[in-house]
Amino acid sequence: MFHAAWLRRALVLLLGFGSIVAALPQARPIPAHAAGADYFPETGHTLSGPIREAWVAGGGVWLFGYPISEPMRWSTRSGSTVIAQYFERARLEYHPEYEGTVYRVLGGLLGSDLTANRSDEPAFRPAEPSSAGGCVFHEATGHNLCAEFLTWWEREGGLPTFGYPISEPFEEGGFVVQYFERARFEHHPEYAGTRWEVALGHLGTIDATRRGLLETPAFARVEPQMAVTRVEVALRSEPAGGETLAVLSAGTPVALIGGPSWDAYRVYVDGRVGWVRFGDLTWSVTDDPRSATRTSLQMFDQALDARSAEISPLVSIGVYDPLTNQLFEGGSAGPIAAASLAKALLLTVLLKQAEQRGEIGVTDWDGTLIQMIEFSDNDAANVIWAAVGGEPEVRAFLDEQRLTGFAIPDPYDWGAISATAGDWAQFFGLLGSGQILSPANTAYVLDLMRDVLSEHRFGVITPGENLVAIGKNGWYWDDEPEFVVRVTSAGLVDSTEGPPGIAPLAVVMLSHVPGEYGTEWGASIGFEVQQAAVRYATVRWAEYYHRAGPSPAVRLAAQGGAVTSLSDFATVVSHAVTPWGR
């Protein structure tokens, strides 16, 4: 059965807790793509990361055309290496040195490259400023920009997208055209008064053809990456719910074509496009977090590292990246008791014990577990602590899983279970990737954590339209006299700007909160950690494409094989097209 967590919660509320307890141009492209991406069957290519964001913001298909390559390493005129992707009408380049500015994604200098030998033609010679009204003269290149072309240039992207004009308007190929450093404008009078009165010429296709790139690996058609459903799931019309389009059985391969959004991924399966919850899909990476390389938080995010240094005695921060099998750690607060995170541990121990007894699921405990995880009920946790056998059995589980950084200082108090944030990040990485529990139980745990009460979705697991952010949070009185409360926040976080595949970060923040700060302070630190994870998603994306294909450090194998037939894909996944076609 697929997990209808909302139904379980309704039963708990209705019946009550007690009644339920019983490159270079030759760079190798990535042969499959995934979440955080759009897939275009029209050309057989994908779009992701900062380039995807710039493409969408700039106008998408109607402005730039479809992608005709995968992202690749590209050497610029200045000698720097960027991530570039060809489109029918442009080459877009991600420049990390301009991160945080409007120039982080620039159009490639296609206009300049394609007209380098035309400087003696009349239209390309430096001109005098026009005396006509409605013109702007650009001294940088010695050319005018007037009328419809000026209006369109200013409205549709300006200097970062098109560059300066490098010619005056003239007739070419049956159109009045004007060349810019990064584009060629074409005037279409038949569309006068509409957005399509001016269009970009197909310089992306022309330049790729001129360079002989169309037969290189980066331009070969690819298929969307696959994932597999862990359990029977509902294919929904919206990421946060909507209409049930179909019910997919456990083990169904699905093509990942978008997301994440509101903790779900957009998929294609059997002629349908819909959304599947994050917890119900297999990950693309299953490295062992216990073998991770431990490194400084500075290597993760310098701003977060500086912030943690300011408050180091108060916090412990850990981030596990399954893509590179690295564990980033910061803060000097050391092991901190984290009762809310311990509830996720107790849930895992209960399910693991059931599996070892050969039992399928823990239906008898469903109501108690909902109370413990979704409602953060301590009485429910007391019941589960007793049910699993208390301290000896929890310690045995930790030993069996080789989670050596955990301590249980009080054999009668599950809330005293303590570890550093890095140790907790390893646990959540193991749990989320399915390395502790069966696929069905893994999905069950992740769905419970996704459905925690909205007021408990703060800090690391603050939900978002372009995010996966699920886990467990809590605050409680601190037993150390110099502090008032402890705030803990842990979960699995991924962003649409991240690399291909389902490979979320396991992110944990533990904090002691001085009395003058209040619980909101701890929650805000957790949110800062989440935002650092979102920033790091772009770093992961760029690092992925800087490599010439999968390597020992970057493994994103497709799950379930390739799509065998996409014959009807184009009719299902619709994209806007320009009136004049391609």
Report the alpha-carbon distance of residue 399 to residue 421 in Å, rounded.
18
Report the alpha-carbon distance of residue 366 to residue 173 in Å, rounded.
69
**Is-contact 462 493, C-beta < 8 A?**
no
Beta bridge partners of 105: 94
Beta bridge partners of 505: 493
pTM for this structure? 0.76
Report phi then psi at 429, rounded to 5.
-65, -45
Report the alpha-carbon distance of residue 73 to residue 218 in Å, rounded.
10
CATH 2.30.30.40 fits 223-284+559-571, yes or no: yes
Nearest CA to 444 out of 463, 475, 418, 470 is that of: 470
Report the alpha-carbon distance of residue 120 to residue 100 in Å, rounded.
39
> Can you give the C-alpha Rg of the chain in angstroms?
27
**pLDDT tens, N- to C-terminus, the chain (582 residues):** 333 333 333 333 233 333 222 232 333 333 233 345 678 888 988 888 888 888 988 888 888 999 999 898 888 777 778 889 999 999 999 988 888 888 888 888 999 999 999 989 999 999 999 888 789 999 999 999 998 899 899 988 888 889 999 999 999 988 899 999 999 999 998 888 888 889 889 999 999 999 999 988 889 988 877 899 999 999 999 998 889 999 999 999 998 887 888 999 988 888 888 999 999 999 988 889 999 999 999 889 888 988 989 888 888 999 999 988 999 999 988 888 888 899 999 999 999 999 999 987 777 888 999 999 999 889 999 999 999 999 999 999 999 999 999 999 888 888 889 999 999 999 999 999 999 999 999 999 999 999 888 888 888 889 988 889 989 988 766 555 555 567 888 999 998 888 777 889 999 988 877 766 766 777 888 889 998 888 888 888 777 776 533 222 222 222 223 333 333 333 333 333 333 322
Beta bridge partners of 67: 87
Report the alpha-carbon distance of residue 217 to residue 47 in Å, rounded.
16
Q: What is the pLDDT of residues 438-482, one digit of tens each?
A: 999 999 999 999 988 888 888 888 998 888 998 998 876 655 555
Report the alpha-carbon distance of residue 377 to residue 383 in Å, rounded.
10
Domain boundaries, the chain: 32-219, 223-284+559-571
Report the alpha-carbon distance of residue 404 to residue 426 in Å, rounded.
11
